[in-house]
Every structure is written in structure tokens, then in C-alpha cells.
Amino acid sequence: MLDLAFIRANPDIVKDAATRKRVAIDIDHLLALDTRTQELRRQVEAARARQNQLSKDIQAAGKDQEARIAAIEAGRAVAAETKVLEPQLRDLEVELRDLLLRVPNIPDASVPTGRDESENVEFKKVGTPRDFGFTPQDHVAIMARLDMLDVERGVRVAGSRSYILKGDGVRLEMALIQFAIDRISQKGFTPLSVPALAREFCFIGNSQFPRGKDQVYALEGEGEADEPQLFLVGTAEVAITGMHSGEILDGAELPIKYVGVSPCFRKEAGTYGKDTKGIMRVHQFTKVEQYIICQNDHEESVRWHEALLANAEDIVTALEMPYHVVLVCTGDLGDGQVKKYDIECWVPSEGAYRETHSDSYFHDYQARRANVRYRDAEGKVRFVHTLNNTALASPRIMIPLLENHQQADGSVTIPPALRPYLGGQTEFRPKR
């Protein structure tokens, strides 16, 4: 979240950011609530100080019964006042924090203003879509021919937007995941296998809650009555953000570079009728995520943002797929994102690019929510900066991979970079 002092000093900047990000929030109401909270906090602190002084007065009165009784009576009156004020203060603080969690981050000056993804701006294009010499089939037909996918039985088991990978489909997914982990860990990133379950504070820290709660599966009735509720993550980023919550890290150890893998789950709320065919938009998937924790410095964040993009491009290039990079406009940015690139890979059957990777930086927005800090060289404690970028998400990545490498005889050529993870196999061929 944003620093409340920053919001007080720059209300117009915050209002403009909310307008550009299309986030409905009343900043004037937030500031008025903040003023009332500060006033009430001063009253409570003054009452507590008065109580402390009266306790001393009672002890100092000694055998002076008149003074002692007067101090006791005054103390009771102040205690009664405090008993009324403290719950009011707690309620105001809860309301103020809830509003603060909904205030969006400030977009970078380089982010284009736009309403939605249709106004994202192409940043660069790499590779040329292939001239097949035949009508390319879509991934559903290709995977059916290769006996890799069973959507019908997946839906029977788990409902809409479900699927079952089989045969070479499973081998391909495992190969892609291991390929991505190896590719990124070779660049100095520590691999993590993180829980698919996380407590609410992780989602708040990640800035997915409260606004994105409708996309998340909640597990009801888990644990004891006082045990925090658990939710299924939609990315390893959620668990990694929660890993260091409440910690003060050694600044000399930054940046910390992770590549996390986890099963992921999304409700896909609000996407009725969109991408219902095949495996583009599903409820369960596996994702390999790059994650950076670095010093509180804008230029440092920008450098890592570009580096994470280069890592993802390296994976797509190794898989030999045409792609372009788009600069995401304000209306398509998440609440916490300062700037985001999307990599979109070419999907021949659609004659269009489709998003496969997202690369974002947040400044200290997530760190403030999760309370992740570090001690710098001067001994000052500061909030870290965080960044994340997809390394690979499956099964979605299979769509452009299979479609771009399909052959006229029904086979699919395996890119050389992936072959060592498939026992040296060079192609997938239809089952006879």
C-alpha cells in the first residue's frame, strides 16, 4: 500500500492514479477519516497519560485521604472515558486500513493511459509468424491427434474449465516446467517449491486482496475455530510474498532472487463464455514464477524489471515461438503495479498474439502490506522493493508451442532446447 504520509502530501497525484487505473475510491473521504483517527488517537493518548499521572498522584497522596479520594475519582472518570474512546479508535483504524488497502499504486510516467487491454502498446516484436503451406490446426485438434488431452473427461471429473493431460501431454508439461526452472536457476535464482495453500495475510501482502478475492478459492472449515482461513494460490508469488512477512533482512544480502513453482488455481470469475475451448483459460494450472526482493531504489527496480523480461524472452526464444512485448496501459494494470510488460506469443490458429508472461514491479507497495524490510548500510530500516515475472505457465504455454511447431503430416517438432528433457525425442507423432 502507499505510505499514508505520501497520500496526505500528494492527494491529487493519488486521485489521478486511481482515475487512470479506473479504481473507484474516495481519497477525500480517506483523508477525512485519517484526520478523525489522528484526533481520536490524540484524545486516547492524552487520557492514558492522564491515567498514568493520576496513578502517581494516588501514590503521592500518602495519608492525605482527601487528595487520594479526589485522585481515585478522577482516575475512574478518565478510565470510563478511555473505555468509550478506545473501541471507537479501533473501529476507525480498521476502516482506515481497509481503505488504504484499496488505494492503487502510482503508475510510472512511461505507462500509457488506457481503458483496458485493447489499449496496451506494442513495445517490440520478435520473430516472424511461419508460413505453413497448409491450414494450421488449433491446439485442441493437435492434442487430440497426439492423444495428449481429454477435456470431456476432465469436465466430468471437475466441471467446466477442467482438463486431463495424458501420455505425451504429461511428459511435455513436466519437461517444460523443469526446462524453465533450470533456465532461470542457472541465472542465480534459488528454486522454491511453495505451498498451494496460503493464509489471508499473504494475499493482502501480495495486493490480491481485498479487490481480487472473487478470483480465489477459499477452503471453508479448515483447522480450529481460531485458525486463520486458507485459500488456494493463483501464483507462487503469493506464498513468496508471505515468506518474509515481518522480517528485517540484511541489506547486504539483497537482491534475493527466487524462482518458485506451485500448483495454481483461479476461479476465472467474470470470464463466462471467454476462451472456453481447450486449455487457454482453466481453473488449475502449474506456474514457474520469477521473484525479486531488492533495495528501495527506483533505478534498481527498473533494472530488475528489464532483466526479468529478458529472462522470460530467453525462454520463449529457446522454444522458437514468435512473440511480441506490450507495455500494459493504466486501465489494465493491477492495483499494486507501477509498470508491467506482457509477452504475447503468436497463436497460428487465431492469427493473433496471446498473453503467456507478465512482468511487473511494485516499488514498496507489497512490502508495506506484508511488512518486509531491510537494514541498509547506514543502519536505517527501510521497506524492500518487489518484482515478479512469469517464467512459464502450463498448460497455456503448450498452445503456441504445439501450434507453431505442427507439421503437415500431423506430427509436432520438439524445439532442440527442450529435447534433453524428453530423453532426446525430436518430435511427437500421432498414435496409430
- pLDDT by residue (tens digit) across 335-347? 999 999 999 999 9
Cis peptide before 136 (omega within 30 of 0): no
Q: Which residue has the cell 502449474?
A: 286
Q: How far is 145 from 169, CA to CA, in rounded Å?
A: 11
- For the beta carbon of residue 178, count every other beta carbon within 10 angstroms: 15
Per-residue model confidence (pLDDT) at position 228: 75
- pLDDT by residue (tens digit) across 216-270? 999 976 655 666 789 999 999 999 999 999 999 999 999 999 999 999 999 987 6
* Cβ atoms 339, 213 nearer than 8 A: no
The structural architecture, per CATH, of the domain 4-100 is Orthogonal Bundle (1.10)
- pLDDT by residue (tens digit) across 77-130? 888 888 889 999 999 999 999 999 999 999 999 999 999 999 999 999 999 999
Q: How far is 179 from 124, CA to CA, in rounded Å?
A: 25
* Cβ atoms 405, 320 nearer than 8 A: yes
Q: Annotated catalytic sites, by residue?
A: 266, 281, 355, 358, 396
Per-residue model confidence (pLDDT) at position 50: 85
CA 350 to chain centre: 29
* Cβ atoms 267, 255 nearer than 8 A: no
Map out the domains of the chain as residue ranges: 4-100, 117-428
- On the 0-12 / 13-18 / 19+ scale of CB atoms within 10 A, 35 is exposed
Identify the band that residue 368 occupies on the pLDDT scale cut at 50, 70 and 90.
Answer: very high
Cis peptide before 263 (omega within 30 of 0): no
CA distances from 109 to 37, 40, 78, 106, 112 (A): 33, 38, 52, 9, 8
Per-residue model confidence (pLDDT) at position 280: 92
Q: How far is 280 from 317, CA to CA, in rounded Å?
A: 20
The two domains 4-100 and 117-428 share their CATH topology (first three levels equal): no
pLDDT at 49 over 80: yes
Partnered with residue 323 across adjacent β-strands are 126, 345
Assign residue 410 a region: left if phi > 0, alpha if psi is -120 to 50, beta otherwise? left
Coarse DSSP helix, strand, coil percentages of the chain, rounded to the nearest 5 percent? 45, 20, 35
Q: If you write DSSP's letter for every residue of 251-288 in order, what string do you get? A: GGGPPEEEEEEEEEE---TT-TTSS-STTSS-SEEEEE
- pLDDT by residue (tens digit) across 62-91? 777 788 788 778 878 888 888 889 999 999
Per-residue model confidence (pLDDT) at position 226: 64
117-428 CATH, one of 3.30.930.10, 3.40.50.10710, 3.20.20.70, 3.30.1180.20? 3.30.930.10
Name which of 359, 206, 386, 379 is nearest 296 in CA terms: 386
Average pLDDT of every residue of the chain: 94
CA 341, 343, 344: angle at the middle one, nearest 5? Answer: 135
Partnered with residue 190 across adjacent β-strands are 258
Tell me phi and psi for residue 43, to 5 degrees: -65, -45
